[in-house]
Amino acid sequence: MPTYIVMSKWTSQGLQNLRQSPNRLDAARKAYESAGIKLSHFWMVTGQYDMIAILEAPDDVAVAKAILTSTSQGSFTTETGRAFTEDEYRKIIGGLP
């Protein structure tokens, strides 16, 4: 399954309800699982972002729907990118003209 890196920032609303953040994470994990998505790693981080998660999803559409559903609640925003494995990277680079 494709892998996605999700970099998140709490919104003002999310910070006002910060103590609920672990519950929101648990709910998101369950919702992702029901959509066939695995939240394989999660970190709270310092720096530009507040949280980083690694998702494994069947396709771009599934991950887009899951992220939009989660962010529509207003507690955080995301920046999501597709991550390529080393083997995928080598195939991509090897296929260049």
CATH of the domain at 46: 3.30.70.1060
Radius of gyration of the chain (CA): 15
Per the structure, the count of domains in the chain is 1
The dihedral built from the CA positions of residue 14, 17, 19 and 23, taken in this order, carries a sign that is negative
What's the burial of 63, exposed, middle or buried (CB within 10 Å: 0-12/13-18/19+)? buried
Residue numbers of the domain that contains 78? 3-94
pLDDT digits (tens, 9 = 90+) for 1-49: 999 999 999 999 999 999 999 999 999 999 999 999 999 999 999 999 9
pLDDT digits (tens, 9 = 90+) for 35-87: 999 999 999 999 999 999 999 999 999 999 999 999 999 999 999 999 999 99
